[in-house]
Amino acid sequence: MSVPQDPPAAWLVETWSASLSGVLESLAGVRPKVVAARLTEAPRPAAEAAALEDLLWWEQPLTLEGRPSVWVGAPDQTWREIGIRVLRASGIDDAGEADTRSTYLEVTSQALSGLASAIGGRVGKDVGCADGRELLDPPDAGIEGEIEIALEGASLPAVRVILSQDLVKSLEPAPKSQELAVAAAAAAAAPSAPSPPPPPPSAQPRTLDLLMEVEMPVSVSFGRAELPLKEVLKLTTGSIVELNRAVDEPVELIVNNCVIARGEVVVVEGNYGVRIKHIISPQERLRTLK
């Protein structure tokens, strides 16, 4: 049956669409057209349920109470085209099916990570992605959304997103009566004031606006090292671990597990900082995904 096109279910689907658009633009070097289409609620017709079984499904639990999940299902043509586009942008033109599949799943995981960060901003606490997995069959229940994708004008078969009911309920606003009571109390206590003028229309696409307030983890990597377990067990206070980076080499700036820039370490008012010297290309970003 049809579901009203409003928050929180529609917000979740639209936010994931915006996140997917940003990831594809970053990794494939082209800005796709990604549109969140209709929402429906299971149970679905038998014919449609059979068609969903042919999709490549990924289940992504989130670190909220009860571990609610988001499921993403992509038709063969869609996940292959996305994987090929991203690999081609990194200079790989003859990738096999396994590499294409894993690249598409990495794109999906990155987009879901952006969705988790947006959910965290909405509920006011840190939300991340737990360990995801591939599924042979879609879930039987949930709210479904369609994501229409067009790359350079070529439309791809729609991607399906299924939201668990407990995830949607966790984002539902307070009952309307409670909202009205709070609003009435605030209006009674506040002095009357002229209404502010409406804000000017944004020049940015609405999908990009959805991402502007998403908080992303930023870290700096000075280097890495691999040690046998027996050497790790020998580490004590004062031990020195040699990293794989020379003193004069630039450090890496990592955003959401992806290296986006390199620079040099500086000190700003007693705190460490990084002066960016080089923004890396989409091809390099794909190769540095953690």
CATH classification of the domain holding 165: 3.40.1550.10
Q: Is residue 139 part of a domain?
A: yes
Please give the average pLDDT of every successive group of 10 residues along the chain, which has 290 residues. 59 89 86 77 59 87 90 94 90 88 92 91 88 86 87 88 89 58 52 53 52 75 86 88 84 81 82 84 64
Q: Is residue 74 part of a domain?
A: yes
**182 contact partners, CB below 8 Å, separation of at least 6:** 174
Q: Is residue 161 part of a domain?
A: yes
Range of the domain at 157: 9-170
Q: Give yes or no: residues 141 and 280 share one domain.
A: no
Domain boundary among 170, 198, 228: 170
Q: Give yes or no: residues 139 and 36 share one domain.
A: yes
Q: Give yes or no: residues 71 and 132 share one domain.
A: yes
Q: Give yes or no: residues 153 and 270 share one domain.
A: no
- pLDDT at position 273 is 86
- pLDDT at position 4 is 42
Q: Is residue 196 part of a domain?
A: no
Domain boundary among 150, 170, 190: 170
- For CA atoms 135, 138, 141, 145, give the dihedral sign: positive
Q: Give yes or no: residues 40 and 160 share one domain.
A: yes
Q: Is residue 160 part of a domain?
A: yes
**186 contact partners, CB below 8 Å, separation of at least 6:** none
Domain count, the chain: 2
Q: Is residue 205 part of a domain?
A: no
Q: Sheet holding 258-268: strands in order across?
A: 218-221, 251-255, 258-268, 271-279
Q: Is residue 91 part of a domain?
A: yes
Domain boundary among 113, 143, 170: 170
Packed helices 97-123 and 76-89: angle between N→C axes, nearest 10 degrees: 90
Beta-sheet strands, E only, within 142-222: 143-151, 154-163, 218-221
Q: Give yes or no: residues 160 and 56 share one domain.
A: yes
**6 contact partners, CB below 8 Å, separation of at least 6:** none
Q: Is residue 37 part of a domain?
A: yes
- Cα separation values, 289 from 62, 166, 196, Å: 21, 31, 45
